[in-house]
Structure 1
Amino acid sequence: MSMAHTSSQAIFLVFVVLSFTLSVAHFSSIHELLRSHGLPAGLFPESVKSYNLDHKGVLEVNLDGPCMAKYETRVLFETVVRANLSFGQLKGLEGLSQEELFLWLPVKDIIVNDPSSGLILIDIGLAHKQLSLSLFEDPPVCRSQGLSLNIGGRKGIGFQDQR
């Protein structure tokens, strides 16, 4: 083997290792992952237990259990929340509902089209709401006290009496 051939193989090997390392970059928290994708860190509560982002961009976020947080209105996180993550977007959300006029509606998409606008778009199916990005800067506290999910043929949300 010639010296040039050996060095070109070494350079190629370094290139492959660096490419692989960059493509599977691991973030220390879900909040850091969101920021790296042009989304605010506070879209998920501080109590996230774990998360996984697969090679297709499917994000699965695991919490200790269902819990409720408040942004402009109350939101309910189920134990597992899934979405397709791309830059500035969480699309096809499952496991997140928002209270609107005493109804709990599933959040379908969360989109930041232009971060300089200071706005975030929340798609709840029946309507699109534009909210201030500043509401989502910090991860909220998510409380499970007094919250119970009644899972039957249909999902329902109930609240136990506080003692």
Structure 2
Amino acid sequence: MHTFIIFLLLLLHTLPQPSSSSSISIEASIHDLLRSRGLPGGLLPKGVQSYYFSDDGRLEVNLNGPCLTRFETRVYFESVVKANLTYGSLTGVVGLSQEELFLWLPVKDIIVDDPTSGLILFDIGVAHKQMSLSLFEDPPDCRALQDDQGLGKNYMRKEKGFNVLK
């Protein structure tokens, strides 16, 4: 029996130990992940429930719910934000809109070409908007929206009103 216990202890000692890098990646926040990929951590708000980042760069971020925050203008986050994350860029963004001149425009890409420039580029489809990187240093608070406050219903009201005027 004594020999068996020694054998088990030796066997356990020879098994590979978890590396510190794997525990860091499990515990790292989405904000830390963004920073490690050359983007500011404050691109996504506080209130991230979970995220998934695949080896091929697909990123899916689950928030507590849809919410509004402000950088230079108001920004709307859906409950799920998806993008392709590569060093210095989030491309093919889905689930993020920015208010420009009373219109909500989907953000398509977010790019930091040159971190020393202090600028970040937002591609909102019809235009490219440059903003200061300093606006995105810390994750912002994001005001939760109730179902009856969602932008979808505001869109519907505007669209219906526009159609009536046609």
1:150 is the counterpart of 2:152: yes
The TM-score with structure 2 as length reference comes to: 0.75
Shift of 1:26: 3.6
User: Residue 54 of structure 1 corresponds to which residue in structure 2?
Assistant: 54
Give the structure with the higher percent strand: 1
Query: Cα distance 1:95–1:145, how it changes in 2: closer, same or farther (>3 A)?
Result: closer
Secondary structure in structure 1 of the residue aligned to 2:150: strand
1:101-140 equivalent positions in 2, closer than 5 A: 101-140=101-140
For 1:150, what is the secondary structure of its paired residue?
Answer: helix
Counting aligned pairs with the same residue, the percent is: 61
Note the 1:13-162 alignment, pairs <5 A.
25-145=25-145, 147-150=149-152, 156=155
Determine which structure has more spread, i.e. the larger CA radius of gyration. Answer: 2
**1: CA distance between counterparts of 2:92 and 2:99?**
18
Is the Cα–Cα contact under 8 Å of residues 27 and 33 in structure 1 kept in the other structure? no
Q: CA RMSD in A?
A: 2.4
Query: In the alignment, what sits opposite 2:162?
Result: none
Shift, 1:148, TM fit: 1.8
Aligned mates of 2:92, 2:70 — CA distance in 1: 21
**Distance change (3 Å), C-alpha of 1:84 and 1:141:** same
Q: Which runs of 5+ in 1 are unaligned?
A: 1-13, 159-163
Count residues with an aligned counterpart: 138
Could you tell me which runs of 5 or more consecutive residues in structure 2 were left unpaired when the two chains were aligned: 1-15, 158-166
Structure 1 pair 25–69 and aligned structure 2 pair: CA distance change class (3 A): same
Shift of the 130–78 alpha-carbon distance from structure 1 to 2, 3 Å rule, reads same
- Tell me if structure 2 keeps the 8 A contact 1:148–1:157: no
Post-superposition CA distance 1:6-46 (Å, at most 9, x none): xxxxxxxx8xx97xx67x94452000000000000000001
Residue 34 of structure 2 aligns to a residue whose secondary structure is helix
Runs of 4+ in 1 over 3 A off after TM superposition: 24-27, 155-158
